[in-house]
Structure 1
Amino acid sequence: MNSNCIFCSIIKGESPADFIYRDEDFVVFHNIRPSAPVHVLMVPVEHIESLNELKEHNVEVISRMILKSKEIAEELGIKDSGYKLVINVGSGAGQVIFHLHIHLIGGWSKS
């Protein structure tokens, strides 16, 4: 854990979050600044700054997060209408919080 990281603070229960899933390896909670009707964040418990910092021992948790995303999408009612997973890597790609996280985004209606 990183004492200056908001996601680490959320995981430790020091900052509030609206959790929808939690286990020993990762958490899922609603984004406080959503960019879509449905916007949740999937965050590993281990503090990993970005995809660039992944190690071989992280393979299982990242794989589980990806697999869990379809269950979360179903729970949130967007599995069939469509959703996307986004990982920003570095500030040049829009990463603002330097703790690896996956955005699960969807819920737009067709026009």
Structure 2
Amino acid sequence: MTNDFYCDQVLSGKTEVEKVYETENVLAYYHTRPYYQVHIVAIPKKHILSLTKMEDADQEILMELMTVIQKVAADIEEKYGACRVITNLGNYQESKHLHWHIVSGDKQK
């Protein structure tokens, strides 16, 4: 069993989230424990372990995910002047589900 907060909590509905953008295959929402002043997470609704563990069949979902990330990042950049788009891999990836952070502002203490 892997640590997958996104499937186990968010997509199952056990943890409520404030949605930012949603499509059939992708969900973007405000992070439940933000590390930055603005902190949004974008995830595929299908379990995909990570960017480096994707299968060829997941390419369409990846493109849909990137489209959502682009829209959310453009909105954050317009509102706050800048943003970062981050994904973690390997031991840096706490939750073993492909996800991207769209963040702006200073790190929260």
Aligning the two structures, in what range does the TM-score lie when normalised by the shorter sequence?
0.7 to 0.9
Aligned to 1:5: 4
CA shift digits 1:35-55 (9 cap, x unpaired): 221111100011111112101
Provide the aligned C-alpha RMSD in A.
Answer: 2.2
Higher relative contact order (CA 8 A, sep 6+): 2
Which structure's residues are more often strand, by fraction?
2
> What are the ranges of 5 or more consecutive residues in structure 2 without an aligned counterpart?
none
**What is the one-letter code of the residue matched to 1:36?**
Y
Q: Is the 8 A contact 2:44 2:61 kept in 1?
A: yes
Task: Give the whole-Å Cα distance in 2 for the aligned partners of 1:49 and 1:55.
Answer: 10
- Cα gap change, 1:51/1:73 in structure 2, threshold over 3 Å: closer, same or farther? closer
**Any conservation in 1 of the 2:4–2:97 contact (CA below 8 Å)?**
yes
Alpha-carbon distance in structure 2 between the residues aligned to 1:36 and 1:17? 17
List, as ranges, runs of 4+ consecutive aligned residues in structure 1 with deviation greater than 3 Å: none
Task: Please tell me whether the aligned partners of residues 37 and 106 of structure 1 are also in contact (alpha carbons under 8 angstroms).
Answer: yes
Q: How does 1:24-39 map to 2 (within 5 A)?
A: 24-39=24-39
Q: Which runs of 5+ in 1 are unaligned?
A: none
| TM-score, normalised with respect to structure 2 | 0.80
> What TM-score, normalized to structure 1?
0.79
Answer 1 or 2: which has greater helix percent: 2
Indicate the larger mover: 66-75 or 42-51. Answer: 66-75
| Greater shift in the superposed pair: 13-22 or 40-49 | 13-22
C-alpha displacement at 1:3, in angstroms? 9.3
User: Which residue pairs with 1:70 in the alignment?
Assistant: 70
Report the alpha carbon displacement of residue 21 of structure 1 after superposing the two structures with TM. Answer: 1.7
